[in-house]
Each structure stands twice: as C-alpha cells, then as structure tokens.
Amino acid sequence: MELKELNPEVLDKAANLLKAIAHPVRISIVQYLEDGKKRTVTEIHRKLGIGQATASHHLVILKDRGVLSSKREGKNTWYFLKHSNLKNVLISVGECCAPNPLKGA
C-alpha cells in the first residue's frame, strides 16, 4: 500500500496503532512477541523484569487498541501479535532512532 492510497479512516487507525505501542514497556512487549509465539502475562513480566500488574496494564492497552489478540486456555490467557507486520514497524523505528554513522551522531 502506498502512502497516497491512505484515506482518513486508515490514517486514523494507523495513528491509533502507533499511539498504542508508543511506550517503552509496550514496545518491549511487542518485540518479545514478534517471534509469533503465544505467551502468558507471567512469561512476559518475568522476561521483561517488570511487575505482573504493570505487564497486565500494558497488555490490556495493546489488546484494546488491536495490537494483540489473546486466547484463554484454562487458567491461562495467551497473548500474541495480531499483525505480524508490526515487527517491520519496530525495525523501521529502531533504524530511525539509531545513531547515524555517516553524521557522527
């Protein structure tokens, strides 16, 4: 999809998606889930070294904004990325934030 093809509704959805991941913890969660595996809140909070309540808070935001999906199995809820292309968004943002060796930054 080219940028000129985007209509206001699509632009609004894109902005909301970017807002949803615009937090260091949420970026970390998306990065952790980018391998396509499903993980529980316990796995996520342990891996990221954050409290379980903090992880749950950010998972709710990501799920409500359409970044994540979840599946309940018994006592566990498994979280996973709704869109595999989010990995590409994070790669692009990371490249924009990395020091530019040509400019000495």
Residue 48 lies in a domain: yes
User: How many domains, in total, are found in the chain?
Assistant: 1
Please state, in angstroms and rounded to a whole number, the distance separating the CA atoms of residues 25 and 28: 5
Predicted confidence band at 70 (pLDDT cuts at 50, 70, 90)? very high
Map residue 71 onto helix, strand or coil.
strand
Name the more confident of 102 and 51: 51
Q: What is the span of the domain harbouring residue 38?
A: 7-92
Does residue 99 belong to any structural domain of this protein? Answer: no
Q: Can you tell me the distance from the alpha carbon of 80 to that of 100, in angstroms, rounded to the nearest whole number?
A: 32
pTM of structure: 0.83
* 3-state SS, residue 35: coil
pLDDT > 90? residue 87? no
What whole-number percentage of the chain has pLDDT above 70?
A: 90
**pLDDT the model gives residue 4:** 64
